[in-house]
């Protein structure tokens, strides 16, 4: 979306907020929307933010002790009962409509944002990369989504058809449906390490000395639904039906390690952080876990490092998310110090803020805790651009793609260096 179009959308969203009258006086007389945007103050530490997140609200962002969340009327009441004072600032669905400005082709991004890749476009691009660089690139699949879409797996290595005795590094993207910038990040990695081979000394060295794996989308069903009808839906979860008639599991709360252990996910199927009925119940998660586990050869995990890309907030996060403790079951002081050191080095490279994942709020059943807890893979979460912005943060204009994906080139190189 052009800057002019995005500015108009922002103005339109503001106008909708004003037009619907979410003033303190009006709120007393007007029923709140089904999905209201609220500002929650007083969440000054991780414990308070965890308490807010545990209500099942959809956390849009955190800044200076204020959380911006999407909440149902019942969730807003729960927050008030807990002593918070959520302030209604808008209607989430009205804001989404304003964000999706102008007509769009079916099964494509809203008008002006066509620079983002749909699922079919992503598949075509990785296949083209493999065709153009067949000596170093292959495309396979780790499995299928709930709706039957392949989950493409790209391998980049100097002897791509051989399982070499080299450190393996994995990059995963688009686990949460609306975080489309992350898919572009994985495509950047694919294109950089294929197009640059033989001409870029750094790229060539890593391709020769590592086996690089890329999963561009772990949630294609959700991502396609999020742009259905040419309008953004604000969708986060996968598209797996639940027993109560709601749809979707938060696949980054469905991994097996410490699943449901610590109040870092919801047991309510309608919640945005619903953990699923059982660990690994989401087919996307089952496929990811099975593939990663298959890289254990002769008792040794071949994958040594991993980044899972999300958006937004500009953070580099590391395990554990399920506990505030730094040294705990599964994490020695030496191991934690290594996470902190590598994470800080990557943050220095891309300008993000480094922290343990639970410094934001408690999560459990996430991919990073599973990667480390089950396989001792040095696993990080990158929360990409922007640093804030509420709903807008999930849908940056497509003109930002190149700048914000290349911004992570050096940070990716840091991880590849430490993977050895």
| Residues present in the chain in total | 420
**Contact by Cβ (8 Å): 302, 212:** no
Task: Please report, for residues 25, 159, 314, 386, 393, the alpha-carbon distance to residue 310 in angstroms, rounded to integers and kept in the order given.
Answer: 37, 30, 9, 11, 11
Phi-psi region of 12 (alpha: psi -120 to 50; beta: other; left: phi over 0): alpha
- From the list 28, 114, 383, 403, the catalytic residue is 383
Instruction: Give the C-alpha separation, 232 to 229, whole Å.
Output: 8
By CB atoms closer than 10 A (0-12, 13-18, 19+), residue 113 is buried
399 is catalytic: no
**Contact by Cβ (8 Å): 255, 374:** no
Residue 68: closest CA among 23, 82, 30, 84: 84
Instruction: Give the C-alpha separation, 276 to 256, whole Å.
Output: 11
Other residues' Cβ atoms within 10 Å of the Cβ of residue 143: 16
Instruction: Give the C-alpha separation, 240 to 280, whole Å.
Output: 13
Catalytic residues: 383
């Amino acid at each position: 979306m052009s800057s002019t179009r995005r500015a108009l959308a922002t103005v339109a969203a503001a106008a909708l907020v004003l037009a619907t009258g979410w003033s303190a006086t009006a709120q007393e007389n007007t029923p709140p929307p089904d999905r209201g945007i609220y500002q929650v103050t007083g969440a000054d530490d991780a414990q308070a933010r965890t308490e807010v997140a545990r209500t099942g609200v959809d956390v849009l962002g955190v800044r200076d002790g204020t959380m911006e969340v999407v909440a149902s009327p019942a969730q807003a009441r729960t927050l008030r009962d807990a002593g918070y004072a959520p302030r209604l600032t808008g209607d989430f669905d009205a804001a989404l409509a304003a964000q999706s400005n102008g007509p769009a082709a079916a099964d494509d991004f809203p008008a002006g944002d066509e620079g983002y890749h749909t699922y079919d476009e992503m598949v075509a691009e990785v296949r083209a990369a493999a065709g153009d660089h067949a000596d170093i690139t292959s495309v396979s699949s780790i499995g299928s989504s709930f709706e039957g879409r392949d989950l493409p797996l790209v391998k980049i290595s100097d002897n791509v058809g051989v399982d070499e005795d080299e450190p393996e590094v994995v990059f995963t993207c688009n686990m949460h449906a609306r975080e489309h910038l992350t898919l572009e990040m994985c495509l950047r990695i694919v294109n950089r390490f294929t197009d640059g081979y033989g001409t870029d000394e750094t790229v060539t060295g890593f391709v020769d000395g590592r086996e690089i794996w890329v999963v561009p989308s772990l949630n294609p069903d959700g991502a396609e639904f999020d742009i259905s009808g040419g309008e953004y839906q604000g969708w986060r979860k996968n598209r797996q039906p639940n027993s109560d008639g709601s749809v979707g599991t938060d696949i980054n709360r469905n991994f097996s390690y410490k699943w449901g252990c610590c109040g870092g996910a919801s047991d309510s199927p309608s919640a945005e952080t619903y953990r699923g009925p059982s660990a690994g119940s989401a087919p996307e998660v089952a496929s990811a876990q099975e593939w990663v586990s298959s890289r254990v050869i002769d008792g040794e995990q071949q994958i040594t490092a991993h980044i899972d890309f999300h958006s937004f907030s500009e953070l580099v996060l590391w395990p554990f998310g399920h506990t505030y403790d730094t040294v705990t079951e599964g994490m020695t002081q030496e191991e934690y110090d290594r996470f902190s050191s590598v994470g800080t080095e990557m943050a220095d490279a891309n300008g993000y803020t480094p922290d343990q994942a639970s410094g934001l709020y408690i999560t459990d059943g996430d991919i990073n805790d599973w990667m480390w807890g089950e396989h001792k893979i040095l696993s990080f979460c990158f929360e990409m651009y922007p640093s804030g912005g509420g709903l807008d943060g999930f849908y940056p204009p497509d003109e930002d793609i190149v700048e914000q994906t290349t911004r992570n080139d050096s940070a990716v190189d840091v991880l590849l260096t430490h993977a050895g």
